[in-house]
Amino acid sequence: MTAKTKNRIQCVAVLAIIALCSGLLLGAFNLLTYVDPFQSTLDGFKKDSGAEGEFTMVVADEPVNYGTGQIVYYAVSDDEVPVHAFLAGGSGGYQGTVQIYVYVRDNKIYKIVIGENSETFLGKLDDANYYENFYDKDLTELSDFNDVDTVSGATLSSTAVRNGVNAVVRYYNEEISKGGKA
């Protein structure tokens, strides 16, 4: 074996060892830092909702689309009075879709939490108490919240939130209140 061939074999071996070590380190890092999106969502539902019981995921495979809104995840708690928790998306925002977490108990929305989004005007919705428009109304007596006015200066953001809430209302009435899904 010539010195040149031996040198090439050593270079290939060193590169192979570097690649193997890098792959093992990346794999270990992934194992240590991986966050299961379903479990993360369930944990968020429990924390935000104030539910005592555990949540069971009902919709998790494919989002359920309703035109300008969609249900990404839906889970229900095993509380005596169940909490229905939704991760919904409303399109039409200034920067695209707004993620919202909507919590329903006794057929009424009692909490909305804003999720991931790129909107810059959502603070105006807080200032205008916009979310109060959706609380404590019997969803089974509604088809949507299209009569809720948008917030001046945050028209697109408030429209996106309303679109997400409307998807929740529609899903709730079609699948839950009529004895469909849990």
pLDDT of residue 179: 60
pLDDT, averaged across the chain:
87
pLDDT value for 181: 53
Per-residue pLDDT of 23-41, as tens digits, reads: 888 888 877 877 777 788 8
What's the one-letter identity of residue 143? S
Q: Which pLDDT score, from 0 to 100, does residue 40 have?
A: 81
CB 85 within 8 A of CB 106: no
As a whole number of angstroms, the distance between CA 71 and CA 92 comes to 15
Give the pLDDT score at 129.
Answer: 92
pLDDT tens digits along 109-120: 999 999 888 888
* Positions of the chain with pLDDT under 70: 60, 179-182
pTM, 2 dp: 0.79
| Residue of 104, 106, 77 whose CA lies nearest to 88 | 104
Q: Is 35 left (phi over 0), alpha (psi -120 to 50) or beta?
A: beta
d(CA 113, CA 25): 37
71-86 b/e (C-beta count within 10 Å ≥ 16 → b): bbbbbbbeeeebbbbb
Handedness of CA 166, 116, 149, 107 (dihedral sign): positive
